[in-house]
A and B are shown apart, each in its own frame.
Chain A
Amino acid sequence: MTRVRRLLIVGLFLVFAPVAAMAVSPTYKLQVDGLACPFCAYGVEKKLNAVNGVKAIEIDIKSGTITVTMTDGATLDEAKARTAVEAAGFALGGFQNLSPAAPGGSE
């Protein structure tokens, strides 16, 4: 019985640990206006990577969107995102917090 209980605990941990980890890595979706070629995309990527707390960046050039994942506990505010995007020569057309408990973003 004890063995079954242990297995159950380990199983629950394996199932919920990734979910818990995702919950503390805030993710944002940025609409970047002006983005239209791969070489230019790298300029924005570098500026966003330089923002404190940024863990990963994923660019989709077709939609002109950039998904920014922060390190655990870090957040990205719209002003910082705008500064980084504009430093690369582009414009921030929309900012959305994709984290589950977020109140939503602006478009």
Chain B
Amino acid sequence: MRTANEAYRFRLVHWCSMFVVALSMLWTVDSVGAPMTFNTALPVAEGEFVFREQFILDKSGDDPSGAGRDRTVWSAVSVLGYGVNSDLSLFTAVPYVDKHLELINSGSRRARSARGLGDISIFARYTAFKNNFRGGSFRVAPFAGVEAPTGADNESDSFGRLPASVQPGSGSWDPFAGVVATYQVLDFQIDAQASYRLNTQANRFEFGDVARVDASLQYRLWPRVLGAGVPGFLYGVLETNLIHQEKNQSAGSDDPNSGGLSLFVLPGIQYVTRRWIVEGGVQLPLFQDLNGTALEKEYIVRAGFRLNF
């Protein structure tokens, strides 16, 4: 039998963790292009495929509610891109997630977890503007898609039904859209993106909508001087993500301990060849102005590869 205080604390854990889940889902879905945390406007050749695998360790903690919440999410996101023609590309992102939440309840530490297929996203990107010039290009490409409720959203353990933050899937159809611009020359590449995700209701719960602005700089560190042929490029990567999420809703009411504004920075590294790319980086919070006792992000480690085939 829980006291009112414990029940309230549990609800806080439940709702605040959902915010974290929503953010991590958005990141994984957008992880398709040259930057590590969002999309790019660079083309996929007509009739050709590109594949990307990214492994993500997403850690949250530093619980302001005193409930000792500690959340860890491991994800493996597989993305396949196909060039319908030189301007239109289709993408699908398939996440496999392993979510783990620990918290102190009734004086003892409790762990709740689930793993499995997450929500699959499909989206299209169209190059609305491009200017190819000698040694570089500038492109602008709007994109739109939807995240389908393919992940389980009704998992339970010995304590009962798992909170939405620990469910592998959201249970809802969540459309998203945005625009990405890429300026690329031989020495560096800059990507910038603005996007919006409209989260919808499932199981009488709705994650807050997410608006975000992202920027990425990839600077060629090696070779410093280009020789003949197509050498591999070693890029230093610096990315920022400004993310605003509205409050979650449960049974039609706003959760005062969810949503807020966050700013992240990711220093990373990429090695790019004709056929493959390997990359890695750590995403760190620079600023988090979250509502109430929403759980704060500690860090996100990203590592992966891409294949051209």
Contact = CB atoms under 8 A, between A and B. Distances in A.
Contacts of B186: 36-37, 61-62
Contacts of B273: 38-39
B42 interface: yes
A59 B45 contact: no
Nearest to B89: A89
Interface stretch (B14-22, B95-103, B126-134): B126-134
Given A42-B274, A43-B43, A46-B48, A90 B189 contact: no
Given A34-B132, A87-B85, 15 more contacts: A33-B137, A34-B130, A37-B42, A37-B233, A39-B272, A40-B42, A40-B43, A42-B308, A43-B48, A58-B229, A61-B186, A61-B226, A64-B134, A87-B46, A93-B132
Interface in A1-58: 31, 33-47, 58
25 contacts: A34-B130, A34-B136, A36-B136, A36-B137, A36-B184, A37-B184, A38-B232, A39-B274, A42-B308, A43-B43, A43-B308, A45-B274, A46-B45, A59-B229, A60-B229, A61-B186, A62-B226, A62-B227, A64-B134, A64-B135, A86-B86, A87-B45, A87-B85, A89-B44, A90-B43
A45 B309 CA distance: 11
Contacts of A98: none
Interface in B44-87: 44-48, 83, 85-87
Contacts of B130: 34, 89
